[in-house]
Amino acid sequence: MRYRVLGGTGIQVSVHCLGTMMFGAVGNPDHDDCARIVHAALDQGVNFVDTADMYSAGESEIIVGKALRGRRDDVVLATKVHFPMGEGPNRGGNSRRWIVREVEESLRRLGTDWIDLYQVHRPDHSTDVEETLGVLTDLVRAGKIRAFGCSTFPAEEIVEAHHVAERRALGRFRTEQPPYSILARGVETSVLPVCQRYGMGVLVWSPLASGFLSGRYRQGRSVDLTAGRPALTPARFDPALPGNAAKYAAVEELAALAEEIGCTLPELAVAFTVAHPAVTSAIIGPRTMAQLEGLLKGASLTLDDAVLDRIDEIVPPGVNLYQPDGAWSPPALTDPARRRRPIAERAAA
């Protein structure tokens, strides 16, 4: 396993990061089996583990904490904060009030005295970014976290956060965690170049495109829309919907390319993401030991320029063939009131 420096922090992390979203009730509820997956990844040279407070309502952090007992010093441990963790208006978000409380809960669940990388899981337009950067800077000074980053932030908000940090003499986001795969290349347009400009580490999530690049969903095959990922968002997977035709067609071409160069489709997908010069590490999120072994098997795969050119022909750079599950959408798009003047003011005369 190769290692790369995480966003100028001097911390060396493995190019594959073990993601634990599937640990717990939403994926694998067997704590002992999940611990075996963690140990197997560490034994193969993975030293980077990513989780979040909201994964299975904190259960993932508990599992990770138990799995790392006796090996904590050898692991770069990352977790995230933002999503609601219970009822009430102040049990989520990016405020000082919530982050100060929730970092203690994450430390307790993880069974550790410090978090190596603490990430803001999504933007929060109700909280001034200066407020968020201020509390994260204080947590670094208190020794509770070593560095902090953001996740699924648009390029303009990353830039704003860096400007605020410079003006207010605050710590800055050292990393960004965006969705990135062959089928979702939108971040190549601005997010990845901005991260390079600011020297940020990049941990990409969903390199298998929510399972589309797992090889499980193929053109001409029936899809069970009542189980797994399709049950959550059936419209994304239903091959009968015209909007999905391009995704399934691309998967067929990519599967043929993988067979031609002698690898599996998942191996091709992950290798593509870590070939980008902005990417530090790709998060692989296995639910089972077999899935982990299959993904790690392709860790040494090198894609040459000819293969990357073929991928560019199938899915052009900067193109999203689908919107990744869980990707953040700005209020300017999701709230019609932000795009419409009062009806009495809409006419030009």
Active site residue ranges: 55
Cα–Cα distance, 10 to 127 (Å, whole number): 30
Q: Which of 122, 87, 82 is nearest to 103 (CA)?
A: 82
> Position of tokens 């019609």?
336
Report CA torsion sign: 72, 75, 79, 85.
negative
> Position of tokens 């590490």?
281
| 65 neighbors 55 (Cβ within 8 angstroms) | no
Q: What is the dihedral of CA 176, 182, 185, 187, to 10 degrees?
A: 10
Q: Which of 33, 29, 42 is nearest to 68 (CA)?
A: 42
Q: Which of 202, 168, 216 is nearest to 78 (CA)?
A: 202
| 122 neighbors 83 (Cβ within 8 angstroms) | yes
